[in-house]
């Protein structure tokens, strides 16, 4: 039984010129204990698709579809109901550790507030659990840290604290939106390892949103690639990254510096830029930039084909000689 | 807020400046302001009667002969209102221009040289800010003596610090901006950078401030005249006319029409100022692209 | 003669009331003609400060900076010395490095105007040429910066610097604010420009992987000092400094293999209070007695390779830190037995 099943998610945002679709028919399933990666460039809709789960979309957003979590449809819940379900069983970590913690409250306060409100722990028990959490995320001197303030910590440490707060109530699902983008590479490695360890120790499911396929490749079990509000490919991490089926995935990988092939293979840039959701190209949104595009690509949005546990939105075998 | 939402909120690819008919308030403001300017210029030609001539039957309510009626001394109110614009409008423009120049210069020097110069100028500005504008203007005008010129001077004294502060802030922030550093790296002298890169970014906000200040200046001037410190009788000036009208409440037309004149002029300047502000920010005007 | 050389440069920042901070505490670096040098390091290592000192935006508190053999005078109120016009800098953030109120063409033409490089009537043509050089249409000159994407803006910034006909271009994290496709485009552009125009590039970046693709040689910086320098391929194949090794190990592999990048324990120390001796020693897995005591200097251990690490002392051929450490230990045992 999946932990989270998202079906037909469609999100439209109000803009001065009308409603614009930012997420268009996205489906995915997250299993317990799985790291589910959502990849895409800025503007692909990856962040919006999870903000919808937590009711964090901007006001006026129209949402269609279902998101079944623990037997309830998150998209139909409101206010207190949503906070109860989401606040307890889903934790979220945001991108910028500099702004995601309250600058005026001590770490201890920020942690224990959650614990006491959600789990009803008394002060002593909450403190104790807070210390445990900080230890779990490997903050040195957890007891001292309880009394410290965010500005006294580095970016990497703050991100760990944010993860601790997200995990405070023992959620089943952790959503991490670009958790390492703002961090140095060695610090990023630490957070990646932390997430990996937490996932295994706590049997935690993680939805990992990032544009960085390297980070994705390190811990994700399944990967979904979004382009301009639609899913273009999804599947097991290894299969998808080793043998991408969709030209966009392939192009993304080619544009990345690959540690093995440095110097031998130049970076292949994808010409053009991602389209604005306001003005999507007809048919397949990627076709103007696609090296393998056919005339038919501009005619209709390609359906998502499901083959062997993988899905991609492109006619079979796009890389065959054209 | 995700990149997508931010982009969608403001992004418009190379749109021209939104055509005037899409900005009703600005149009209204511009029309009214221009109308008053035209009236101010052509008042002698438009006004039906001599504003100072006390030749008519006094206190007559508005009629076809006297559209705005006559005041307590038998003068045609319409003519007086029209002539009143010759005082308020040009003086407001002049005052704001002066204040902007003086204040802008002070602010630019303070921001550019910093240190002692900055401290001195800004303390002077703070001194002025410490007082409510109308009170300070009253004091200065009273000290200098009654009369329109002195009232004008008083207003400049009250108005320059806002410009100083705005310009100083802008100069400070822009001077350190990377695009200024880039220009300097290319060999641009500090002075050239000041004129090419710093000042253009400063002119916009100053112009907006000035336009909005026109409204304040008009009000202040009228206020001072209302209190007897500005335009002296028998001069036709809106503020003093309202003062008169306050005395003769039963003859409502004496005070109401000048009051309406002040109201429309001030409102017009406010509308103009708002849309100028939008026009000057290339991002809102042309359709900005937010950061990714 | 190097095109750009920095010797024992120090850059100190003073804050009122607070201690002086040495963002750069003695770093040397040189860029030869037509070379692409990558300077990598993480936050707080001082690479941006070094870049600014290299072009004269900031005055070094010690050491010398030379461009084409002549000293680089720091910027003052007066216009920058004309000889320095051929040493240019591209900033990291393409959103703040272009004046939002001036047209793109006018900004690119700044150098042409100030340096009088091209007669007035030819300037439009030259601007079009420069835009073409960076892969943008000539019509871009009439637009404002905000009408372009991040990648395009960065290219405009590069075109602007190129207008001064530089022989050395320093780029401070030019790819950091860009997404993957734009990064690849700009990276390729830089290599192309360097080859075509025989332009020397000093590319500052925290992204090792991209630098690997672009640079001929790489310098690694940590907490204000240089740790290692080597031709790119050699640096990656056989890093000699433990920090370099850690950096390389921390880069994720986007190949689907599930490779977990290596984390480096500890935190970057406060630059105001650097560790004694070798600045890296508290976090170094191979540290031994000498490390907290003396600060190693950059020494040449092979042609084109310099390292600042006590594990790589003269006499022994350069080898990976783990091997050197073993040698050291067995050597230490031997001397104890002897």
For position A304, what pLDDT does the model report?
Answer: 86
- Do A157 and C256 count as a contact with CB atoms less than 8 A apart? no
Under 8 Å CB pairs connecting chains A and B tally to 36
Q: What is the pLDDT of residue B28?
A: 84
Which CA distances in Å does A178 have to A208, B108, B140, C77? 7, 43, 60, 43
Whether the per-residue pLDDT at B54 is higher than 90: the answer is: no
Are C89 and B177 a contacting pair at CB < 8 A? no
Question: How many Cβ pairs within 8 Å bridge chains A and C?
Answer: 151
On the CB side of A180, CA atoms within 13 Å amount to 27
pLDDT number for residue B123: 92
B244 close to B253: Cβ distance less than 8 angstroms = no
User: How far is C-alpha B59 from the chain's CA centre?
Assistant: 33
Per-residue model confidence (pLDDT) at position C50: 95
Residues of chain B in contact with residue C157, where contact means CB-CB under 8 angstroms, are 182
Which residue, among C40, C45, C180, C214, would best test binding to A if mutated, counting the most A CBs under 10 Å from its CB? Answer: C180
Q: Is the peptide bond before B234 cis (omega within 30 degrees of 0)?
A: yes
Angle between helices B77-113 and B115-129 (to 10 degrees): 150
pLDDT band at B45 (very low <50, low <70, confident <90, very high): confident
The beta-carbon neighbor of C146 closest among B181, B197, B289 is: B289
Give the per-residue pLDDT at A320: 63
Residue in B2, B13, B289 to test binding to A, most A beta-carbons within 10 Å = B2
Mean pLDDT of chain A, nearest integer:
87
pLDDT of residue B212: 82
Query: Looking at residue A280, what is its pLDDT?
Result: 87
Write the pLDDT tens digit of every residue in A151-161: 888 888 999 99
Q: What confidence score (pLDDT) does residue C130 get?
A: 94
User: Cβ of A154 and C260 within 8 Å?
Assistant: no
* For residues A244-269, average pLDDT: 78
Interface contact B7-A276, CB threshold 8 A: yes
pLDDT in tens, A203-240: 899 999 998 899 999 999 999 999 999 999 999 999 99
As a whole-number percent, the residues of chain A with pLDDT over 90 amount to 35
Residues in Cβ contact with C51 at an 8 Å cutoff, skipping those fewer than 6 apart: C39, C89, C170, C172, C202, C204
Residue ranges of chain C whose pLDDT lies below 50: 338
Q: Which residue in C has a C-alpha nearest to residue A220's C-alpha?
A: C258
Measured CA to CA, the distance from residue B36 to residue B100 in angstroms comes to 22
For residue C34, give every residue at least 6 positions away whose Cβ sits within 8 Å of its Cβ, in sequence order, or none. Answer: C194, C195, C198, C199, C200
pLDDT digits (tens, 9 = 90+) for A95-150: 888 888 888 999 999 888 878 877 778 888 888 989 999 998 999 889 899 999 99
pLDDT for res A64: 92
Under 8 Å CB-to-CB from A19, ≥6 apart: which residues? A12, A13, A62
pLDDT at residue number B287: 36
pLDDT 10s digits, B117-173? 889 999 999 999 999 988 888 888 888 888 888 888 888 888 899 899 988 988 888
CA distance C300 to chain A (A): 25
| Per-residue pLDDT at B289 exceeds 50 | no
The whole-number pLDDT of residue B198 equals: 78
Bridge partner residues of C40 (DSSP):
C205, C220
CA distance, residue C24 to nearest chain A CA (Å): 19
Give the residue on C whose Cα is nearest the Cα of B189.
Answer: C79
Radius of gyration of chain C (CA): 22
Does pLDDT of B22 surpass 80? no
Minimum CA–CA partner of C106 in chain B: B196
Instruction: Report, as an integer, the average pLDDT of A171-195.
Output: 91
Higher pLDDT, A293 or B276: A293
């Amino acid at each position: 039984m999946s932990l989270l099943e998202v079906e037909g998610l469609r999100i439209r945002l109000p803009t001065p010129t009308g409603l614009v679709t930012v997420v268009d028919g996205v489906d995915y399933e997250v299993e317990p204990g799985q790291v589910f990666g959502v990849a895409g460039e800025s503007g692909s809709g990856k962040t919006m698709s999870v903000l919808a789960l937590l009711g964090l979309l901007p006001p006026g957003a129209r949402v269609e579809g279902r998101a079944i979590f623990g037997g309830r449809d998150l998209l139909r819940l409101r206010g207190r109901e949503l906070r109860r379900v989401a606040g307890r069983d889903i934790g979220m970590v945001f991108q910028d550790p500099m702004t995601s913690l309250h600058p005026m409250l001590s770490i201890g306060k920020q942690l224990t507030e959650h614990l006491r409100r959600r789990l009803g722990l008394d002060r002593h028990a909450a403190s104790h659990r807070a210390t445990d959490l900080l230890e779990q995320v490997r903050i040195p001197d957890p007891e001292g840290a309880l009394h410290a303030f965010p500005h006294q910590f580095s970016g990497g440490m703050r991100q760990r604290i944010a993860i601790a707060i997200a995990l405070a109530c023992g959620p089943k699902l952790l959503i991490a939106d670009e958790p390492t983008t703002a961090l140095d590479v060695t610090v990023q490695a630490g957070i990646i390892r932390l997430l990996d360890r937490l996932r295994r120790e706590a049997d935690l499911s993680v939805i990992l949103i990032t544009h960085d396929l390297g980070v994705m490749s390190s811990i994700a079990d399944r990967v979904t690639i979004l382009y301009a509000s639609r899913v273009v490919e999804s599947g097991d991490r290894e299969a998808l990254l080793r043998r991408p089926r969709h030209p966009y995935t392939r192009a993304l990988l080619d544009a990345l510096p690959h540690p093995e092939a440095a110097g031998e293979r130049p970076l292949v840039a994808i010409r053009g830029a991602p389209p604005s959701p306001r003005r999507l190209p007809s048919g397949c949104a990627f076709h103007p930039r696609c090296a393998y595009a056919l005339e038919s690509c501009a005619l209709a949005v390609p359906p998502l084909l499901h083959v062997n546990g993988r899905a991609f939105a492109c006619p079979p075998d796009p890389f065959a000689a054209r | 807020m995700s990149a997508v939402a931010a982009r969608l909120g403001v992004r418009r690819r190379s749109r021209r400046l939104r055509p005037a008919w899409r900005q009703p308030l600005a149009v209204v403001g511009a029309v009214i302001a221009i109308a008053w300017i035209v009236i101010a210029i052509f008042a002698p030609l438009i006004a039906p009667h001599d504003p100072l001539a006390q030749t008519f039957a006094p206190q007559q309510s508005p009629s076809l002969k006297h559209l705005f009626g006559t005041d307590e001394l038998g003068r045609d109110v319409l003519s007086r209102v029209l002539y009143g614009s010759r005082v308020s409008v040009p003086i407001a423009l002049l005052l704001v221009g002066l204040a902007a120049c003086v204040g802008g210069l002070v602010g630019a020097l303070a921001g550019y040289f910093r240190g002692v110069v900055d401290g001195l100028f800004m303390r002077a500005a703070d001194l002025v800010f410490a007082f409510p504008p109308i009170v300070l203007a009253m004091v200065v005008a009273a000290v200098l003596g009654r009369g329109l010129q002195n009232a004008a001077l008083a207003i400049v004294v009250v108005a320059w610090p806002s410009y100083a502060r705005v310009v100083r802030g802008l100069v400070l922030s822009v001077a350190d901006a990377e695009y200024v550093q880039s220009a300097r790296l290319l060999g641009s002298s500090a002075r050239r950078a000041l004129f090419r890169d710093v000042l253009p970014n400063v002119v916009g906000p100053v112009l907006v401030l000035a336009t909005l200040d026109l409204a304040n200046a008009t009000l202040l001037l009228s206020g001072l005249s209302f209190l007897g410190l500005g335009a002296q009788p028998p001069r036709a000036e809106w503020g003093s006319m309202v003062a008169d009208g306050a005395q003769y409440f039963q003859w409502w037309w004496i005070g109401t029409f000048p009051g309406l004149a002040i109201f429309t002029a001030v409102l017009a300047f406010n509308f103009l100022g708002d849309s100028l502000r939008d026009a000057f920010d290339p991002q809102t005007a042309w359709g900005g692209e937010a950061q990714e | 003669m190097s095109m750009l050389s920095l010797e024992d440069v120090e850059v100190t920042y003073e804050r009122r009331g607070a201690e002086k901070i040495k963002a750069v505490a003695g770093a040397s670096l040189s860029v030869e003609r037509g070379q692409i040098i990558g300077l990598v390091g993480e936050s707080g290592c001082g690479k941006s400060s070094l870049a600014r000192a290299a072009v004269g935006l900031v005055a070094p508190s010690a050491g010398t900076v030379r461009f084409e053999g002549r000293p680089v005078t720091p910027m003052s109120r007066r216009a920058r010395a004309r000889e320095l016009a051929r040493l240019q800098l591209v900033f990291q953030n393409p959103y703040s490095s272009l004046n939002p109120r001036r047209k793109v063409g006018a900004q690119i033409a700044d150098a042409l105007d100030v340096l009088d490089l091209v007669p007035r009537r030819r300037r439009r043509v030259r601007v079009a040429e420069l835009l073409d050089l960076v892969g943008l249409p000539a019509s871009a000159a009439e637009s404002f910066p905000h009408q372009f994407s991040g990648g395009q803006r960065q290219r405009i910034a590069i075109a602007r610097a190129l207008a001064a006909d530089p022989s050395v271009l320093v780029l401070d994290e030019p790819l950091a604010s860009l997404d993957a496709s734009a990064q690849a485009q700009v990276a390729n552009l830089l290599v192309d420009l360097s080859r075509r125009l025989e332009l020397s590039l000093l590319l500052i970046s925290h992204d090792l992987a991209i630098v690997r693709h672009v640079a001929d040689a790489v310098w690694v910086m940590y907490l204000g000092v240089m740790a290692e320098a080597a031709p790119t391929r050699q640096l990656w194949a056989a890093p000699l400094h433990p920090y370099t090794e850690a950096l390389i190990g921390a880069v994720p592999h986007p190949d689907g293999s599930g490779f977990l990048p290596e984390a480096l324990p500890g935190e970057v120390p406060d630059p105001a209070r650097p560790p004694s001796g070798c600045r890296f020693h508290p976090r170094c897995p191979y540290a031994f007695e000498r490390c907290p005591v003396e600060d190693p200097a950059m020494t040449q251990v092979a042609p084109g390779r310099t390292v600042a690490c006590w594990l790589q002392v003269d006499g022994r051929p350069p080898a990976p830190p783990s091997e050197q450490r073993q040698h050291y230990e067995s050597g230490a045992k031997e001397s104890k037995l002897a």
